[in-house]
Each structure stands twice: as C-alpha cells, then as structure tokens.
Amino acid sequence: MSNSPRPDVKRVLLAHGSGGSLSRSLMEEVFLPSFTNPFLAPLNDQAVFTMPAGRLAFTTDSYVVNPIFFPGGDIGKLSVCGTINDLAVGGAGPVYMSASFIIEEGLPMDELRRVTASMSATAKKAGVQIVTGDTKVVERGKGDKLFINTAGIGVLPDSVELTPLRIAPGDKVIVSGTMGDHGISIMTHRQGIRMDVPVESDCAALHGLVEMMLKAGSGGIKAMRDPTRGGLATVMNEFAISSNTAISLIEDAIPVRDAVRGACELLGFDPLYLANEGKLVAVVSPEYVEAVIAAMRAHPLGIDAALIGTVIEKPKGRVLLETSVGNTRILDMLSGEQLPRIC
C-alpha cells in the first residue's frame, strides 16, 4: 500500500471517493491540513466531545452555489457561515460542525484546496471546530464541480427563546444591514455582467452580532432569521403566517446599496427577494428597539442596522409594503424561481 503524496494528481479522480488509498491520501493531503484538530486526527468515522447538560441546537444545509468562487466569498466560506448563522439566529452559540463534500470528477485539486482553506479560515475566525466529515466523488456530468453540506451543533442558553410564535402586534422589525448584496454578487458574476461598482457578497458569520443583540435586548427579542433564499420578503411572510399577524414594512427604510438597486432595475429583480448571507432580520418588542439597534450599530456587521417596519393585527398572515411613492401593496411570497443555485 502506498500513501505517497502523489503531487502529480492535479484533479480529483473517481478513485478519490473509493475509500481506498487515494481516499486516504486526499484526506491526509487536503482535508487534514486544513481542518487539523484533535477530533479529526484519529480518522474515525465520528467525532466525540463532551457537552454540558442543557439545550443544544442542531442544523444542516447543503450548498450548491454556482459559481463556487465569487466576489466576497466562495462555497466553502458560505457553507461555514450559513450553518453558523442558522444556529446564531436561533440564539445558539455555534461550537462544532461537520463538512461533507460531493465532488464532480475533474475538479482541480487546487480549487478544492482553496475551498478547504477558506472553510478552515472562516471556522477559525468564528471559533468553531470542523470535527467530522465525508467525501464522495461522482462522475463528470453527474454533479457540478463541488457541493458541500455542513451540519452544526450549538449551545442554546436557557434564557433564550426565539420563535416567531412570540411575535405580537406592536413589535418592531429590524434588519442588520443592506439587502440583496449576495444575490446580486452571484448573479452579476455568474452572468459576466460588468459593474462600475462591483457588489461583493455579504457572506459573514453573525453569531458575534447576535450575542451583542441578545445582551442588549434580553427577552425583548422575539424572533430572528437570516434572510437567505427568498430574501427578506420570504422571511417576513413566514413570520406573519407563523405568528398569525401582519407585518407592515416601509420601503424607504430598508437599506439597499445603490449598486444593488441599479443592478436590480437593470435585471428586473426586487432586492427584497434576493438572498443575503451575512444579514439578519429581528422582531423586537418596542421598548428594546433603541438598545438593540445601538448594540447592532456598534458591531462591524450591524453598522447599517435599521428599523424597517411594525407588526400589526391584520390582514393576518400578510406582509404589506408602504412604497416610496406612497402606495401600500402586498408583499407576497414568490412561487417561482428568481435566482437558482444562489447558495
């Protein structure tokens, strides 16, 4: 048996997914150097760690974004931030993650290395450990370069109870920053559209921001969500349906970058339906709004935090938008597809 480094192998082969010595060399040469930690080192099929008694949060997402590298990020960074954010908006502090790769045969090995290095850097910065994983390889034309799944485990403090069921009329809606950056970044990059001011994805891990918000807002923060696929409009609809209330949003109060607004006008998109990967929306009891927004603006990822709307009684399950021109319209959930493979 040979575990020699094989620097000659420049692309991922089907045999790298075979479970044999090429699988082992992929593990030893690509994954372990990026993710090295005491959990992964034994090369067992499971990670073992000790947790205190209490509530845990558990989440998973698969990432199929196309292209896998884009301004402001890549599929690896996205896969780490996305799972951290799903834990964070539930109020949980992310601790451990898994990472599983489905690779299309022929992926350049250095692209895989760039992605794993990006995951490793993102996880390290976030204080999260990638402790277990898996790799599969599919034939050319049966995948698309690289799909990544991450699952994450976080610790949920007893005092935290974030759920749309707590939302009530009078509550205020706050976003942490500009809407639509990720969607426009991917879309313009994918289509090769050149912009005067290129838009970068907002891809970022939000657990630090959430921690500051929970300190400032205590029990006054009712629910939080990261508006990814389907954007702000979809989350607002889900919140209105779950809480059996209505939500009224002020269009002019919703922060959108000029470049994003311009690209949306050009391409026929609505920034309120575009994916974000480093933003959150929170519903907050009115007496805590000021403190929560102040805490958000003191954090680098919440500088543009803004109060954008109010929870009202009816029409139940609906979202209303007071537009710039003074009309009020229903902000529906989309049924169609605005931007496939955005995350």
- Grouping H, G, I as helix, E, B as strand and the rest as coil, residue 22 is helix
Q: Does 53 bind a copy of itself (CB under 8 A)?
A: yes
Q: Applying CB under 8 A, what is the total number of residues that bind a copy of itself?
A: 90
Residue 22 vs 292, nearer CB to a copy of itself: 22
Instruction: Kindly list the distances between the CA atom of residue 224 and the CA atoms of 78, 165, 210, 281, in Å, as whole numbers in the listed order.
Output: 19, 11, 9, 6
User: Are 26 and 51 contacting, i.e. CB atoms less than 8 angstroms apart?
Assistant: no
Which of 29, 32, 61, 304 touches a copy of itself (CB under 8 A)? Answer: 61
Q: Is 230 in the site for a copy of itself (CB under 8 A)?
A: yes
Q: How far is the CB of 42 from a copy of itself (least distance, A)?
A: 7
Residues in the chain: 343
Window 272 to 291, contacts with a copy of itself (CB under 8 A): 273, 275
225 near a copy of itself, rule: CB under 8 A: yes
- DSSP states of 210-258 as a string? HHHHHHHHGGGEEEEE---TTHHHHHHHHHHHHHT-EEEEEGGGS---H
116 burial (CB, 10 Å; 0-12 / 13-18 / 19+) is buried
181 near a copy of itself (CB under 8 A):
no
Q: How far is the CB of 143 from a copy of itself (least distance, A)?
A: 6
Q: Which residues, 233 to 272, sit near a copy of itself by CB under 8 A?
A: 234, 237-238, 242
Specify the amino acid at residue 204.
Answer: A
Q: Which residue in the set 110, 165, 314, 315 belongs to the binding site for a copy of itself (CB under 8 A)?
A: 165
Q: Quick one: which of 7, 45, 300, 324 contacts a copy of itself (CB under 8 A)?
A: 45
Position 128: which residue type?
V
Examine residue 72 and tell whether it contacts a copy of itself (CB under 8 A).
no
Name which position in 40, 68, 126, 153 contacts a copy of itself (CB under 8 A): 153
75 backbone dihedrals φ, ψ, rounded to 5°: -60, -30
